[in-house]
């Protein structure tokens, strides 16, 4: 069996899987390994300190791709994530986008607020845009802004799940009945059962972040990967709930301290917790392996991750398991027909 969806056909993939853009994690080594495995690798623009550094990362990624993968599809073998974050001094988002376009990138994963300008810049150059969102109303807005595909992020996801607290099971079904462009499932998927379930719910593929963190090619400290394997689905926590900027992170000492400050009488202002949640501290977790050095994103799929395979092994295993589950569903239908 070969799983064929709009995602695989449009982007020339063998398996309908996308590696989510993750700051400090979506590097050339991981993005190239995912694309070489038959899925879609994603470089994270804001992992790089400048648009020029992104140019170099794109060139490095291309050097690590198999020759046949380099020629893959109309839009190219991998994409770039641009996440628009609320900030007093925002990064040069247009500069990152233009640098990627200049280097031949024609697949973008966008996320965050008000992506219209970036979507239009990418579309002007013939790029394919997958926009990640956490609510149907935001998906419909991105659809109007020109996104080609949506990545619908359920409450199970790592990072920011929005403020509606809607799980993927309902959110995917709502997307299927509400959207006129294709979508992929994001949040809560880490194996073939999750991919098969996403397809049943109307998605044309799945986006995985936490699962790809726990692969040999992910350039984060092995101690982080071991902690993911040892964890279960209860080992994440939400921070920033009282600030209406909810984020799901790994439940470590720093995250629990943030939550305690938010729950104290009178709550907490961002400046009260800023020193705990800085990106520089979070980066140290990945670099040094100190799990409590800062906050770091993780989805509840940590409960489904039990090994540290190569990307090739992981994608193949998910592909085989999804095919088995789809075949099993087919046999259930056949049994019903005989009754």
Cα angle, residue 212 at apex, residues 177 and 74 outer, rounded to 5°: 65
In a domain, 314, yes or no: no
In this structure, are 288 and 163 located in the same domain? no
In a domain, 331, yes or no: no
Instruction: Look at residue 283 in the predicted model and tell me its pLDDT.
Output: 94
Instruction: Look at residue 337 in the predicted model and tell me its pLDDT.
Output: 58
In a domain, 128, yes or no: yes
Instruction: Look at residue 166 in the predicted model and tell me its pLDDT.
Output: 95
Q: What CATH number did the domain enclosing 47 receive?
A: 3.20.20.70
pLDDT tens-place string over residues 47-58: 999 999 999 999
Instruction: Look at residue 330 in the predicted model and tell me its pLDDT.
Output: 86
In a domain, 59, yes or no: yes
In this structure, are 132 and 249 located in the same domain? no
Only one residue has tokens 């994530």, namely 81
In this structure, are 201 and 138 located in the same domain? yes
Instruction: Look at residue 333 in the predicted model and tell me its pLDDT.
Output: 73
In this structure, are 161 and 245 located in the same domain? no
Instruction: Look at residue 114 in the predicted model and tell me its pLDDT.
Output: 87
Asked whether the beta carbons of 79 and 105 are under 8 A apart, the reply is yes
In this structure, are 133 and 186 located in the same domain? yes
Q: Point out the domain boundary residue: 220, 246, 270.
A: 220
In this structure, are 273 and 148 located in the same domain? no
In this structure, are 189 and 267 located in the same domain? no
Measured in degrees and rounded to the nearest 5, phi and psi for residue 183 equal -140, 155
Count how many domains the chain has.
2
In this structure, are 36 and 127 located in the same domain? yes
Question: Considering only CA atoms, which of 239, 260, 235 is closest in space to residue 250?
Answer: 235
In this structure, are 150 and 265 located in the same domain? no
| Digitized pLDDT (tens) for each residue of the chain, 339 residues in all | 689 999 999 999 999 999 999 999 999 999 999 999 999 999 999 999 999 999 999 999 999 999 999 999 999 999 999 999 877 789 999 999 999 999 999 999 999 988 999 999 999 999 999 999 999 999 999 999 999 999 999 999 999 999 999 999 999 999 999 999 999 999 999 999 999 999 999 999 999 999 999 999 999 999 999 999 999 999 999 999 999 999 999 999 999 999 999 999 988 999 999 999 998 999 999 999 999 999 999 999 999 999 999 999 999 999 999 999 999 988 887 665 555
Asked whether the beta carbons of 180 and 163 are under 8 A apart, the reply is no
Instruction: Look at residue 189 in the predicted model and tell me its pLDDT.
Output: 98
In this structure, are 123 and 204 located in the same domain? yes
Instruction: Give dist(CA 109, CA 172) in Å, integer.
Output: 19
Domain that includes residue 258, residue range: 236-297
Beta bridge partners of 248: 159, 238
If you write DSSP's letter for every residue of 307-339 in order, what string do you get? ----HHHHHHHHHHHHHHHHHHHHHHHHHHHH-
In a domain, 310, yes or no: no
pLDDT tens-place string over residues 262-282: 999 988 999 999 999 998 999
In this structure, are 201 and 253 located in the same domain? no
- DSSP reduced 3-state for 239: strand
Residue 46 DSSP class: G
In a domain, 322, yes or no: no
In a domain, 198, yes or no: yes
Instruction: State the alpha helices, DSSP H only, in 84-178.
Output: 93-102, 116-124, 136-145, 168-178
Beta bridge partners of 249: 237, 297
In this structure, are 119 and 208 located in the same domain? yes
In a domain, 124, yes or no: yes
């Amino acid at each position: 069996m070969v799983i064929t969806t709009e995602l695989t056909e449009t982007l020339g993939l063998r398996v309908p899987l996308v590696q989510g853009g993750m700051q400090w994690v979506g590097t050339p080594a991981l993005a190239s390994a995912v694309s070489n495995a038959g899925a879609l690798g994603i470089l994270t623009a804001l992992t790089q300190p400048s648009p020029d550094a992104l140019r170099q990362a794109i060139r490095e990624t291309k050097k690590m791709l198999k020759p046949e993968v380099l020629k893959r599809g109309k839009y190219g073998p991998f994409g770039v994530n641009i996440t628009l974050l609320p900030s007093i001094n925002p990064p040069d988002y247009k500069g990152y986008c233009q640098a990627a376009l200049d280097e031949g990138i024609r697949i973008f994963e966008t996320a965050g607020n008000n992506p219209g300008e970036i979507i239009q810049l990418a579309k002007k150059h013939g790029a394919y845009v997958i926009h990640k969102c956490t609510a149907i109303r935001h998906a419909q807005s991105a659809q109007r802004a020109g996104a080609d595909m949506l990545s619908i992020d359920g409450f199970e996801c790592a990072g920011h799940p929005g403020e509606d607290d809607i799980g993927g099971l309902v959110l995917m079904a709502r997307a299927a009945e509400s959207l006129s462009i294709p979508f992929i499932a994001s949040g809560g998927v880490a194996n073939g059962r999750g991919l098969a379930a996403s397809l049943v719910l109307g998605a044309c593929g799945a986006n995985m972040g936490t699962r790809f963190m726990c692969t040999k090619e992910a350039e984060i400290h092995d101690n982080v990967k071991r902690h993911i394997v040892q964890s279960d689905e209860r080992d994440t926590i939400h921070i920033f709930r009282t600030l209406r900027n909810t984020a799901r992170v790994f439940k470590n000492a720093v995250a629990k301290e943030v939550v305690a400050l938010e729950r104290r009488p009178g709550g907490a202002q961002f400046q009260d917790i800023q020193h705990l949640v800085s990106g520089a501290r979070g980066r140290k977790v990945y670099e040094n392996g100190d799990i409590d050095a800062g906050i770091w994103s993780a989805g509840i799929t940590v409960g489904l991750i039990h090994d540290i395979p190569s990307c090739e092994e992981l994608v193949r295993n998910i592909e085989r398991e999804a095919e088995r589950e789809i075949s099993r569903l087919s046999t259930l239908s056949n049994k019903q027909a005989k009754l």
